[in-house]
A and B are shown apart, each in its own frame.
Chain A
Amino acid sequence: MPDPTLHLAVALDGLGWHPAAWRLSHADPAAPLFPRWWASLVGQAERGALDLVTIEDSLDLQSSLPDGPDGRVDQVRGRLDALLVAARIAPLTRHIGLIPTTSVTHTEPFHVSTAVATLDHVTGGRAGWLPRVSARRSEAGHFGRRNLPPLDPTRLAEPQHARLVGDLFAEAADAVEVVRRLWDSWQDDAEIRDVPTGRFVDRDRLHYTDFTGRWFSVRGPSIVPRPPQGQPVVAALAHSTVPYAFAARHADVVFVTPTDAGHAEAVVAEVRAVEETVGRSGPPLRILADLEVLIDDTPALARRRRTRLDELHGAEFHADAAAFTGSPGQLADLLAEWRRAGADGFRLRPAVLPDDLVTITRAVVPALRDRGLFRAGHPGGTLRDLLGLPRPDNRYAVAGTD
Chain B
Amino acid sequence: MPKQIILAAHFPGVNNTTVWSDPASGSHIDFASFVHLARTAERGRFDFFFLAEGLRLREQRGRIHDLDVVGRPDTLTVLAALAAVTTHLGLAGTLNTTFREPYELARQLASLDHLSGGRAAWNVVTTSDAFTGENFRRGGYLDRSLRYERAAEFVRTARQLWESWPADAVVGDRDGGRYVDEADPGVFAHRGDQFDIAGHFTVPRSPQLHPVILQAGDSGDGRDFAASSADAIFSRHGTLADGQEFYRDVKARLARYGRNPDDLKIIPGVTFVLGDTDAEAQERAHHIRRQQVSPQTAILLLEQLWNRDLSGYDPDGPLPAEDPDVSADAISRGRAGMYPDPVGTARQWRALAQEKGLGIRDLIIEVTGRQSFVGTPQRVAERMNHFVQSDAADGFILVPHLTPGGLDEFVDRVVPLLQERGVFRTEYTGTTLRDHLGLRPARPLTRVGAA
Q: A: which residues have CB within 8 A of B?
A: 22-23, 28-30, 33-35, 39, 58-62, 69, 71-81, 83-85, 87-92, 106-108, 110-111, 114-115, 117-119, 121-122, 138-139, 141-145, 186, 190-191, 193, 195, 197-203, 206, 215-225, 312
**B296 and A198 within 8 A (CB):** yes
Which one of A77, A223, A312 lies within 8 Å of B57 (CB-CB)?
A223
Closest 9 CB pairs of A and B: A29-B172, A87-B80, A81-B111, A219-B134, A118-B77, A118-B73, A118-B74, A80-B111, A144-B197
**B55 and A110 within 8 A (CB):** yes
**B200 and A75 within 8 A (CB):** no
Q: Mark B83-121, 1 if CB is under 8 A from A, else 0.
A: 111000000000000011101100110111011110000
**B183 and A72 within 8 A (CB):** yes
B80 — which chain A residues lie within 8 A by C-beta?
A: 84-85, 87-88
Interface size on B, residues (CB 8 A): 78
A87 — which chain B residues lie within 8 A by C-beta?
A: 76-78, 80-81
**A73 and B137 within 8 A (CB):** no
Which residue of chain B lies nearest to A221 when distances are taken between CB atoms in the complex?
A: B57
Q: Which of B35, B101, B195 has the most CB of A within 10 A?
A: B101
B134 — which chain A residues lie within 8 A by C-beta?
A: 217-219
- Dominant secondary structure of chain B at its interface with chain A: loop
For residue A239, give the distance in angstroms from its CB to the closest CB of chain B: 24
A22 — which chain B residues lie within 8 A by C-beta?
A: 172, 174, 179
In the complex, A35→B73 CA distance in Å?
Answer: 22
B100 — which chain A residues lie within 8 A by C-beta?
A: 108, 111
Which residue of chain B lies nearest to A112 when distances are taken between CB atoms in the complex?
A: B74
A91 — which chain B residues lie within 8 A by C-beta?
A: 31, 35, 81, 84-85
A81 — which chain B residues lie within 8 A by C-beta?
A: 107-108, 111, 203
20 A-B pairs (CB sep. < 8 Å): A33-B170, A35-B114, A35-B117, A60-B199, A71-B184, A73-B182, A75-B179, A78-B203, A81-B111, A84-B112, A87-B78, A88-B81, A107-B104, A110-B55, A110-B99, A119-B77, A190-B71, A198-B294, A223-B72, A225-B71
For residue A108, give the distance in angstroms from its CB to the closest CB of chain B: 5
**A224 and B136 within 8 A (CB):** no
In the complex, A216→B185 CA distance in Å?
Answer: 33
**A143 and B197 within 8 A (CB):** yes
In the complex, A39→B183 CA distance in Å?
Answer: 30
**B78 and A118 within 8 A (CB):** yes
Q: B: which residues have CB within 8 A of A?
A: 20-21, 29-31, 35, 54-57, 63-64, 66-74, 76-78, 80-81, 83-85, 99-101, 103-104, 107-108, 110-112, 114-117, 134-137, 139, 165, 169-172, 174, 177-186, 195-204, 294-297
In the complex, A206→B198 CA distance in Å?
Answer: 41
In the complex, A332→B99 CA distance in Å?
Answer: 48
**B74 and A224 within 8 A (CB):** yes
Which residue of chain B lies nearest to A143 when distances are taken between CB atoms in the complex?
A: B101
For residue B193, give the distance in angstroms from its CB to the closest CB of chain A: 12
In the complex, A217→B138 CA distance in Å?
Answer: 10
A22-B172, A121-B73 given; A77·B197 CB < 8 A: no
A75 — which chain B residues lie within 8 A by C-beta?
A: 179
**A191 and B71 within 8 A (CB):** yes
**A35 and B72 within 8 A (CB):** no
A224 — which chain B residues lie within 8 A by C-beta?
A: 29, 71-74
Which residue of chain A lies nearest to B131 when distances are taken between CB atoms in the complex?
A: A219
A22-B172, A114-B74 given; A35·B84 CB < 8 A: yes
A199 — which chain B residues lie within 8 A by C-beta?
A: 66-67
B77 — which chain A residues lie within 8 A by C-beta?
A: 83-84, 87, 114-115, 118-119, 122
**A74 and B177 within 8 A (CB):** yes
Which one of B31, B71, B177, B186 lies within 8 Å of A312 (CB-CB)?
B177
For residue A91, give the distance in angstroms from its CB to the closest CB of chain B: 4
For residue B116, give the distance in angstroms from its CB to the closest CB of chain A: 8
A69-B184, A143-B103 given; A186·B177 CB < 8 A: no
**B172 and A110 within 8 A (CB):** no
In the complex, A81→B203 CA distance in Å?
Answer: 8
For residue A138, give the distance in angstroms from its CB to the closest CB of chain B: 5
B103 — which chain A residues lie within 8 A by C-beta?
A: 59, 142-143
For residue A350, give the distance in angstroms from its CB to the closest CB of chain B: 18
**A223 and B101 within 8 A (CB):** no
In the complex, A121→B136 CA distance in Å?
Answer: 23
In the complex, A221→B134 CA distance in Å?
Answer: 11
A118 — which chain B residues lie within 8 A by C-beta?
A: 73-74, 77-78
For residue A114, give the distance in angstroms from its CB to the closest CB of chain B: 4
A119 — which chain B residues lie within 8 A by C-beta?
A: 77
Which one of A108, A193, A201 lies within 8 Å of B136 (CB-CB)?
A108
Which one of A30, A79, A144, A225 lies within 8 Å of B196 (CB-CB)?
A144
In the complex, A144→B77 CA distance in Å?
Answer: 26
**B71 and A201 within 8 A (CB):** yes
A216 — which chain B residues lie within 8 A by C-beta?
A: 136-137
Which residue of chain A lies nearest to B176 when distances are taken between CB atoms in the complex?
A: A74
**B71 and A186 within 8 A (CB):** yes
**B199 and A138 within 8 A (CB):** yes
B184 — which chain A residues lie within 8 A by C-beta?
A: 69, 71
Which residue of chain A lies nearest to B85 when distances are taken between CB atoms in the complex?
A: A91
For residue A234, give the distance in angstroms from its CB to the closest CB of chain B: 17
**B135 and A218 within 8 A (CB):** yes
A89-B84, A200-B69, A215-B137 given; A195·B21 CB < 8 A: yes
In the complex, A149→B205 CA distance in Å?
Answer: 31
Q: Which of B112, B135, B136, B297 has the most CB of A within 10 A?
A: B135
**B137 and A108 within 8 A (CB):** yes
For residue A232, give the distance in angstroms from its CB to the closest CB of chain B: 12
**B73 and A84 within 8 A (CB):** no
A73-B179, A81-B111, A141-B199 given; A110·B136 CB < 8 A: yes
**B115 and A77 within 8 A (CB):** no
**B66 and A23 within 8 A (CB):** no
B57 — which chain A residues lie within 8 A by C-beta?
A: 206, 221, 223
Which residue of chain A lies nearest to B198 when distances are taken between CB atoms in the complex?
A: A141
**A84 and B179 within 8 A (CB):** no
